[in-house]
Amino acid sequence: MTTSPPLLLASASPRRRQILSLLGLPFEVCA
């Protein structure tokens, strides 16, 4: 299984950041 790069969020929506944090997914915000 390959490791996927961090998800890129095109918006700085706190709601989306919260969901991804709860899922434990790595992500970056590029707003």
Domain ranges, ordered by start, for the chain? 1-31
Instruction: Return the pLDDT at 25.
Output: 76
> Which residues, other chains included, contact 27 with Cβ-Cβ below 8 Å and sequence gap of 6+?
6, 7, 8, 9, 17, 20
Instruction: Return the pLDDT at 1.
Output: 55
List per-residue pLDDT tens for the chain, 31 residues long. 577 777 777 776 788 778 878 888 777 777 6
N-terminal to C-terminal alpha carbon distance within the chain: 30
Instruction: Return the pLDDT at 30.
Output: 73
Instruction: Return the pLDDT at 31.
Output: 62
Task: Kindly calculate the radius of gyration of the chain based on its CA atoms and give it in whole angstroms.
Answer: 10
Q: For residue 3, how many C-alpha atoms fall within 13 Å in the half-sphere facing its CB? A: 5
